Structure formats: C-alpha cells, structure tokens
Structure 1
Amino acid sequence: MLPESPKSHEDLVSRFRWNIPARFNIGVACADAIASLTPDKPAIIDYSSGTPQTLSFKQLAERSSRFASALDGIGIKRGDRVAIMLPQSIEAAIAHLGIYKLGAIAVPLAMQFGPEAMQHRLTASGARAFIADNAGLERLSIIHSNLPNLQIRISIGRTGNAHNFDDLIAKASTNYPFANTTADDPAMMLFTSGTTGQPKGTLHAHRVLLGHLPGIQMAQGFMPQNGDRLWTPSDWAWAGGLLNALLPALYFGVTVVAARAPKFEADWAIDLISKAEIRNIFIPPTALKLMQSNLSKAPKLNIRSIGSAGEALGGQTLEWAKQHFGVSINEFYGQTECNAIISACHELGTIKSGSMGKAVPGHNVVVLDEEGKIAKTGDVGEIAVKNDSPVMFLRYFNNDIETAKKFKGDWLLTGDRALCDDEGYFHFVGRNDDIIISAGYRIGPTEIEDCLTAHPAIELAAVTGKADATRTQIIVAHIKLVENERPSEQLKLQIRDFVKTRLSAHEYPREINFVDTIPMTETGKIIRKAFRS
C-alpha cells in the first residue's frame, strides 16, 4: 500500500516499501477485516434487477464464511479449482471470497463464453466445481460429458440436479475456520485473453491483491474518501474487473456497484453512473470511445477518479474525457501475468500526453532491446518487469514450457513494445505482432486508432499492416462508422487528410475498409489479427 500524502512520484518511490505478511488471505482481508471496523457499511449494491439490493460488509463476511463451509461440506478441499461463471452480483462476490477462505482456487469465466470456450478453460484448469446461473448451466450441459473432473454444480436460481447456492449458505455454519494461507499460496486462475495463441491459465497467489494496490491507488486517487463508490463495466472474470476494481475496492472498504449489461451501451452506462451515484470508475478504452458521442447528453456526473487500462488511450481521447468528466483519467498498464505496473497519476502531476505514466513504486519496469539489454532512452523495445514483484504470477497452470518462454533471465517479457523517455515516462507503441514497418518507420497502431476515433464519422477503428513491395507494409484502417453515416470515396479522402494533419504523412492509412463490426476480446481489446488474416 502506498504512503499517504506523497509530494511527487520521486517522493513516493523513495518512501515506498513492500510489506507482504507471511500469512494472508484475500477473502478475510476483503470482508472480515472491514466488517470488524464498519460492519453496516454497504459492500455491494447490486443494480442487476429493478430494485437495488445491498449487502453490508458484515453480511459479506458471514455469507462468504458460510459458503466456504458449504463447499467443504460437499467435498471441495484446499487447492481444488472452483469455476465461477456469474455476472456482476452479490452472489459472485460471496462465491469469490468463500473460495479464497477455503483455500481453494477460483477460476472465473466470462459470461460471454460459449460451450467451446468454457470447455477449454474447465479442462485446462481441472475444475472440480462449477457455479453459474441458469444460462451457464444450460451451456455446461452441452459439454458436461467431456469434463470428467467436474463433479459438482452449484446453481443460482432453479436447482435442477445442482446444489442451490442460497440453500448451501443457509444450512452452513458461520464459524468456519478460514484456511491459514500464506501470501504465496495459490488463490485464483485467470485465463489470458487469447490474443496470442490459446488462452493460458495464469495462476496467482493471495499476494496478487497486495501487489495490485499501489497501481490501483495511483489510478483511483490514493486513499478512499467519504462517499466513494466504484463501478466497472468489465466482467469480474477478468483481471480488469476483479483485480483492478472489485477486490481492491473491498480491501479498502469502498462500496462496489454491481451491474453489467449483456453488451456495453453508452446510454445505459451514463444512466447507471448517475442514478447509482458512482464516484470512481475503472473503464476500458473501448468503452470510453463508445461513450464519446453520448456523453454530451449526460446529466452532471459527480466523478472523483477514473482509471483506464487494457489498451493505450491516446492523447486525444484523454483530452476529450477530461473535458466531459471533469477529471483527468489515470491510464495504467499491465497484463494478466503481472498487472498494474505502470501508471499515470494526475494527483502527482505525472500525466503526459501520449504516455502511460511511470513505473509504479515497488515494480522494476524497463524496456529491453533485441539483445535483452536495457534499451537506450527513447529507443523502442519490449516492456519487461523484474520477477521479484509480488503481483507476478506463479506460473501457467500445467504448462512449464510456456512459463519458461515468458521470461528472459530475471525479466518477465510482456510482448508489448514501448519506449521510455528521459523523464521516465513509458510510451506504448503496440504488441510485438502489431508493429507495422512502413518505409523504414516502425509504427504502432494505437495512436492512429485514437486519431481515427476522434473523427465524427467513426465509432471504432482497427489498424493493421499489409505487405507492400515498395514500403514493406502499408497502413490499413478497418473502420466502423457511427450510426447513419454511409461509406463513400469522399469520406475516405476526408479520413486520410484528417490523420495526415493530426499525426504525420507517414502514418495515414493508404487503404481504408469500412466494416460492420470490429472484433474484440472479452476484455475489450481489438483483435487485429482477425484483419491481418
């Protein structure tokens, strides 16, 4: 956790020390520890149905202990993997914390997953139990015969031949002795988004939450304030929803709003922020871009802090958001294996247009050149982080080969390219496989995409390279237009000129394709390889 009232980023770095206890349990830290101080404070306010449902920290502590006891009673033991496929809800929060208290391993699955995606993750994790609503159980029934390890089903709603979630909790004891886990014991398995090959099960220890806290504090304006209330549109199955929002908020005693539309809609999000009195937001860049054409119609929003991660925002989107929300967005960076390691922070004055910010205290982050040495200032290379960070994953589950490939010596390789300037700011360039080489220039797609989405006719854009005999590659823009806008050759000319005048002549798209959809991962990252192929 960061020291209070830092004067500058340098002051923060000089004063920061990790304090990772030998024994630590996420479930206890996020419920019982807060309940002992403010038992009646709302932990979760669930807006999933018409009437908001509130769960206090005392209730969260009691019900998660009951759920741990219930899991033990039906045969789940310490170290077993328990899959959770639930929307943002009171039940999802209870399930997570109960699994941690038992010493079992939570395997969250996104609500969008179909049977094939579910089968891959349930097989790879060796999950023994599956918690879901009716829709999830129906999808499971299609593949259940292929999952011999999956022995226990727990339902939210109708029971069928599954255990009923509420009945299990009602019959269980509140005095269940939680597992005396070490900080290094495994707590959760988060699957990568699959942008490079099959999704891999990333095993994290209980310390992963403590490792996240400094980066999340910087992104959300340091210590909580009275009236803070946090929400994210991200599914709690992903690192973005779980470790950038839900668990850090509960750890600090901040109320979390649970609500998630099946598909992100800007009007719905703005209405929720207003009626739920949300003051703190974690929001992916794609969601921000979808809100651009709608936010001018929004009522006055009382926002205190906004963090964003997943892809680079770009300077134009940051400026737009600052004007409309009234606060600077703190952009931060990481990945499933090692998250929240770089962050901007307007409270410290470490906001620089076009950059992701500086290394978060406690994390040794560098840019490595092609030879694996620290790159010169201003040179593009691969972002790497020292393997002594407490936010570092334990390993890819049952995949020693891929785990070994992720490291070069003491450095975890992110696969993302960036440069670090003479002030210590990191500037994102793109994924290794996203870099476009054109006429001798190495060009990242993010800045161009950011520029394109600032055009009033464009809703979303994906930029890729295309082989070219003269230039090696040319830049191709795949563009989804806003509603009621129509493709035309004249519009293509306007878009090219728009980029030329705002970026540079070597970065404008020489080829433009208008498309109906821009495919994205469940975490909101553009799947550029869909256009490259």
Structure 2
Amino acid sequence: MSEAPLSYDKLRSLHRWSLPERVNIGVEIADRHLRSKPAILVTDGREITRTITFGELSEASNRLANVLVAKGVEAGDRVALILSQRPETAIVHIAIYKLGAIAVPLSGAFGSDALGMRLRGSDPSVVLGERESLERVAALGFDGVLIDVDHDLEPLLAAASPDFTAAPTTPDTPALLVYTSGTTGPPKGALHGHRVLAGHMPGFELSHDFFPQPGDRIWTPADWAWIGGLYDVVMPALAHGVPVVAFRTPRFDPEQGFDVIANAGIRNVFMPATALRMMRRSDGVPVALRTIASGGETVGEETAAWCRERFGVRLNEFYGQTEANLLIGNSAAWPERPGWMGRAYPGHELRLVDGEIAVKVEGDPVVFLGYWRDEVATAAKVRDGWLHTGDLAEVDEEGNYRSVGRTDDLISSAGHRIGPGEIEECLIRHPAVAIAAAIGVPDDVRGEVV
C-alpha cells in the first residue's frame, strides 16, 4: 500500500493481485527481512522480557522443519499446534509452511469434545503444545507424535540442522486448516492455500491506515489459534517486518490490556468487540494509538465513539469469516459511516444475493480452497462461482455495508425480516445495559416475535 492516503476509487482501480508461481508463507514471513530486526516482543504486561529477531525465527523454523521431517512428516500432512501467544507459535507455523505440510491451529480453551472432534477430522501426524494440552490430547487416544514445546523443543532444535530448503509450494498448495466456530452447525475445517497471506494484505494494510508506518508495533488479545489473531495480526505484520507483541494470559483483563498497550509501546491493535466493551467499563491508564481495528462481531456506534475519545483515533471496523476473511472494512482512505461495516477492500468483488453477502471466488486469494474432506458442505457454501457467507447486509449508494444479521438468526415477524443486531445495539445504548441479545420466539399470530 502507498504511504500517502489515496481515495477509495483510486485504491480499487490500482489494485491487482500478483501472485508468483511459487510462494511459501514461511519464507515470506521469516526469510526476507534483516536478520537482526525484532520480530516478536514478549511482554509480561510491564516490560519487554524477550526479543526474537527475524534471524532467530528463520533459523529456528528451519531446525524445526528438519525435526518434523525426522518425525516422518511429509508435504500435505497435517501438523496441529495448541499454543498460546508466544514465539514458538510463530516458529511452528513457519516450519510447517516451509515443509509444505498443513498447519492446524487449535485453541487451548477447547474442551475435550471440541478438541477430539478437530483432531479426528484433521488427523494430524504430530501435535505440538504445552504439557496440559498434550495430556488432554493423549487422553483422547491420539497415537501420533507429541512434542512438548516447554520441555522437548529446545533439545530437538539444538540437535537439528539450521539449513532447510523450503518446499516449492504454489499459491494453491494447502497450508492452513482452520476450523469454523460451529455456531451454525458442526465446526468445519476451512482449508487455505499459501495464497491466503497475500489475500489478507489489502484489508490488513487499510484497516491500519496504510500499514506499515515508521514505528508501528502491533498487538491483539485475540487467540493466535483463531484466523483473526493469526491473519488479522501476526502473519501480515511479520510479513511486513513489523514487530508483533506476545502476551500470555489465561483470560483477557481490560485494565491489564491498557497496561500492555502503554508499557510495550504499542501503536496498532486489533481488538475484538467484546474486549473493547470490557475496556470501556474499566479504568485503565491513558494510552494513545495510531490505529485500532476490530472484527468478528459488530462493535456498535457507542463503543466506536468511545474509542475515538479514549484512544484518539477512529475505530476501523472490518468484516470477514474463516472461509474468506477481511473482505469489508473501514480505513482513513474513505469517510466512515458510524454503525456500518465499511466498504469492500480492494481486490474483493462482492454482491448481495437476497440480502446475503457473497464474494466472487475466482481470482480472490483470500477465499478458502474448500472444506476439509467435505465436498457437500463446500458445494453448499460455494455456488455458481460465489461464496455465500450466510451474513445479511444492506449497502448504500457509496458502497458501505451494514450488518443485518445471519440468514439463520433473522427474525421473521408478521412478514417483516428483523435483524437482531439492530435491536441489540439499541438496547446497549442504555447506561443500565451492559450487553444484550435478541432472538425470535414462536407466535401464533405473527409467526415470530422478538
């Protein structure tokens, strides 16, 4: 992206996807930057306690790729990781990508049922994680290789060669298998190719107002096992050579969030809407940011206004999903419309089909390759060359989209289609209401009432 702000129309007209025949996410992230440059900054909330350089990322990932090969991992195999915000998480991802295997990030917050379902579905040959997570994996009957990153990883890396030639992967070579949340049925594995990093770049750069700028340093409290934590922050920032802050905590504490931003010198944050609402109700230390972005759910006008007042910058809300992320959003490059999600980021062709957001599949690298081993679900999601998101919206004459709800949670009352989001936003404007949810219940006369 240009450092100088351009108009929305100019950005769209200038954009072209340009993917080489051979591309490897691991190489793009770790091997193209000055080796002494800081890549990951570990903080305890008070100060930076450890700095990992790009040289260390590159060498450690090469060593781990050799370890995985010695464990029998081949191109196309799945390798699962259950890790928190820590440098090893990035190292494991990079090593898997370089090998040509498929990374399967799993959250440490998963219960046994959720974890077991994803392990059975992805069938990894190796699982890397912290001890407690690996004990749960073993209890589920997993018979593959387990690597404890706190006790086994260091000696394994020390004994491995620092030299590794990355696999000759193409944009469509599978690289990442991320499971959906399962809010609308059983979780499904969304398979992405090595093109997925490039596909995130326009939305990432614009949601952070022409990222990177001198001095940028980014953090998110979001789980790095989630597509949002990984590809709305960690991977694109590292690809740009910008330091990512890592902060391990079992749960988000809003006042601690203010401390992390202030003490780690953070200028850019991706903050989920729920975290912003929690911060709004807390008394944290004064902080200033260059950019703040949010996605995953609608933030709401009240919280957006608070962000401008509290952090000194406008909130750039954006929209996407596991199968096709960072499609729509806001940026300093165009006027904001409070309460609306923003406009289609350059490179993505969108339309509304009976009110549902659909994205054109052909030529868009952010769109998934398909659901893992589920052709029926893939065919239901992608029809006539368009990926149907299941999310309802309306669009104004300037191309701004506003969320209406989900196709499966829309309330139909007396012939009216009612999006619960509007009702919830109205309710939380009242000072006595902290959070709200609206649903439809059966009614003999109206079909449903709110």
Normalised TM-score (structure 1): 0.82
Residue 153 of structure 1 corresponds to 146
Match of 1:64 among 58, 61, 68: 61
Aligned partners of 1:314 and 1:446 also within 8 Å: no
Residue 89 of structure 1 corresponds to 86
Quick check: 1:78 aligned with 2:66? Answer: no
Quick check: 1:419 aligned with 2:394? Answer: yes
Cα deviation, residue 471, structure 1: 3.3
Residue 398 of structure 1 corresponds to 373
CA distance in 1 between partners of 2:268 and 2:45 (Å)? 22
Runs of 4+ in 1 over 6 A off after TM superposition: none
Say which SS state the counterpart of residue 137 (structure 2) adopts. Answer: helix
Q: Which moved more, 1:95-104 or 1:350-359?
A: 350-359
Say which SS state the counterpart of residue 305 (structure 2) adopts. Answer: helix
Aligned partners of 1:235 and 1:260 also within 8 Å: no
Partner letter of residue 449 of structure 2? I
Q: RMSD of the TM alignment (CA)?
A: 1.5
Quick check: 1:263 aligned with 2:251? Answer: yes
Matches within 5 A, 1:343-358: 343-345=329-331, 347-358=332-343
Which has more radius of gyration?
1
Cα deviation, residue 168, structure 1: 1.4
Say which SS state the counterpart of residue 464 (structure 1) adopts. Answer: coil
Q: Which moved more, 1:298-307 or 1:16-25?
A: 298-307
Matches within 5 A, 1:261-300: 261-294=249-282, 297-300=283-286
Residue 43 of structure 1 corresponds to 39
Partner letter of residue 8 of structure 2? H
Match of 1:166 among 133, 151, 154: 154
CA distance in 2 between partners of 1:459 and 1:331 (Å)? 20
Sequence identity percentage: 46
Quick check: 1:193 aligned with 2:167? Answer: no
Structure-2 change in CA distance of 1:108 and 1:216 (3 Å):
same
Residue 300 of structure 2 corresponds to 314
Partner letter of residue 123 of structure 1? R
CA distance in 2 between partners of 1:339 and 1:391 (Å)? 6
Say which SS state the counterpart of residue 365 (structure 2) adopts. Answer: coil
Deviations 1:341-362 (A, max 9, x none): 11111x1133111211111111
Matches within 5 A, 1:513-524: none
CA distance in 2 between partners of 1:451 and 1:41 (Å)? 47
CA distance in 1 between partners of 2:35 and 2:312 (Å)? 33
Residue 7 of structure 1 corresponds to 6
Say which SS state the counterpart of residue 32 (structure 2) adopts. Answer: helix
CA distance in 1 between partners of 2:29 and 2:150 (Å)? 26
Say which SS state the counterpart of residue 320 (structure 1) adopts. Answer: helix
Deviations 1:408-448 (A, max 9, x none): 20110000000111111111100111112234432212232
Q: With CA pairs under 8 Å and 6+ residues apart, which has the higher RCO, 1 or 2?
A: 2
Cα deviation, residue 6, structure 1: 4.2
Say which SS state the counterpart of residue 436 (structure 2) adopts. Answer: strand
Quick check: 1:386 aligned with 2:383? Answer: no
Partner letter of residue 362 of structure 1? G
Residue 22 of structure 1 corresponds to 21
CA distance in 2 between partners of 1:43 and 1:258 (Å)? 10
Say which SS state the counterpart of residue 29 (structure 2) adopts. Answer: helix
CA distance in 1 between partners of 2:246 and 2:345 (Å)? 28
The alignment covers a number of residue pairs equal to 448
Aligned partners of 1:280 and 1:305 also within 8 Å: yes
Structure-2 change in CA distance of 1:262 and 1:451 (3 Å):
farther
Say which SS state the counterpart of residue 148 (structure 2) adopts. Answer: strand
Aligned partners of 1:350 and 1:358 also within 8 Å: no
Deviations 1:378-405 (A, max 9, x none): xxx0000001211110111111110101
Residue 465 of structure 1 corresponds to 440
Match of 1:103 among 97, 100, 112: 100
Quick check: 1:323 aligned with 2:309? Answer: yes
Aligned partners of 2:3 and 2:213 also within 8 Å: no
Partner letter of residue 46 of structure 1? V
Residue 240 of structure 1 corresponds to 228
Partner letter of residue 22 of structure 1? E
CA distance in 2 between partners of 1:453 and 1:254 (Å)? 36
CA distance in 2 between partners of 1:291 and 1:3 (Å)? 32
**Runs of at least 5 residues in structure 1 that lack an aligned partner in the other structure:** 159-163, 370-380, 476-533
